[in-house]
Amino acid sequence: MKTLPPLSSFSRVAVKVTDLRVCVAFLAVVVILVYTSLWAYRQFMSSPPYVDPERYPIRGIDVSAHNGMMNLDAAAADGIEFIFIKASEGDTFRDENFRINYNKATHAGMKIGAYHFFRFDCDGVSQGMNLVKAIGNRHLDLGVAIDVEESGNPAGVDSLQIAKSIQAMADYLYLSGLRVTFYSNRTGYYEYLCETMPGASLWICSFQPTPINAEWTFWQFNHHGRVAGIRGDVDLNVFCGSRQEWQNYLNGSVWPYETPPDSGRTPVAPHH
């Protein structure tokens, strides 16, 4: 049997160069695909829609320690009228800037709410207790919001158990006399909130011209907003209604389900 002659040194080098070129070309294609995917996501999935200021005149932001030190007086002068401030997460974590952000927002004359990042792997009542302790006796014009989203949470937790824990936390907050709003995107709303918390105030995150086919109270429409007094990106929100409806909401109405209750009455929990 005849065998092929061994490759010369020149031939072996040529093969290695060819292999290297193939690897470089492959890596270049991968980089291009990754870049294109990220660009497409930012351009089409997270780009903010046009939000008509005449239809939605009440503008707000939501912030946490990640936004750093802020000049909220400047933000208020830039047209920001309300703010949701992160207070807590899970059953132990407290946002380190909640107190200073609250004081700054109060000085700026903003209407204030506090939000809690809900952890799928923590007991609902314990999370409610953590939030109540974090806000203390501070006045909250907008009450509290429970942030329900899969991003940042562990996978594999039973959906039914998550919904029950959310309900347990909400019940604890209602019994504590707090107005409760639920924050989520479309996926989270239909997975965890739609059936278990009907009629509850909804703060929806959506980058579509129509945020969701459901009633909503607040709409987070931009993750990359720019506001005076804040360095870098900040989340932008609007209230779903006119200035008169905003005043009704501040007076206790559960937009858009009822007229303002009698002065001093605590908004009731939705039936579930």
Quote the distance between the C-alpha of residue 265 and its chain's center.
29
Residue 39 has pLDDT above 50, yes or no: no
Residue 38 reports pLDDT greater than 70: no
Return the ∠ at Cα 203 (arms to 247 and 260), rounded to 5°. 30
The arithmetic mean of pLDDT across residues 137-147, rounded, is: 98
Helix (H) or strand (E) holding 235: strand 234-239
Q: What percent of the chain has pLDDT over 90?
A: 74
Give the C-alpha separation, 63 to 76, whole Å: 14
- Other CB atoms within 10 A of residue 224 CB: 13
Average pLDDT, integer, range 25-29: 60
What is the residue-averaged pLDDT of the chain?
A: 86
Is a pLDDT exceeding 50 seen at residue 31? no
The CA-based dihedral angle spanning residues 272, 86, 38, 226, taken in that order and rounded to the nearest 10 degrees:
120
202-257 pLDDT, tens digit each: 999 999 999 999 999 999 999 999 999 999 999 999 999 999 999 999 999 876 65
Torsion of Cα atoms, 64 then 66 then 71 then 76, to 10°: -50
Amino acid 10: pLDDT: 54
Asked if the model's pLDDT at residue 19 lies above 50, the reply is yes
Label residue 42 by pLDDT band (50, 70, 90).
very low
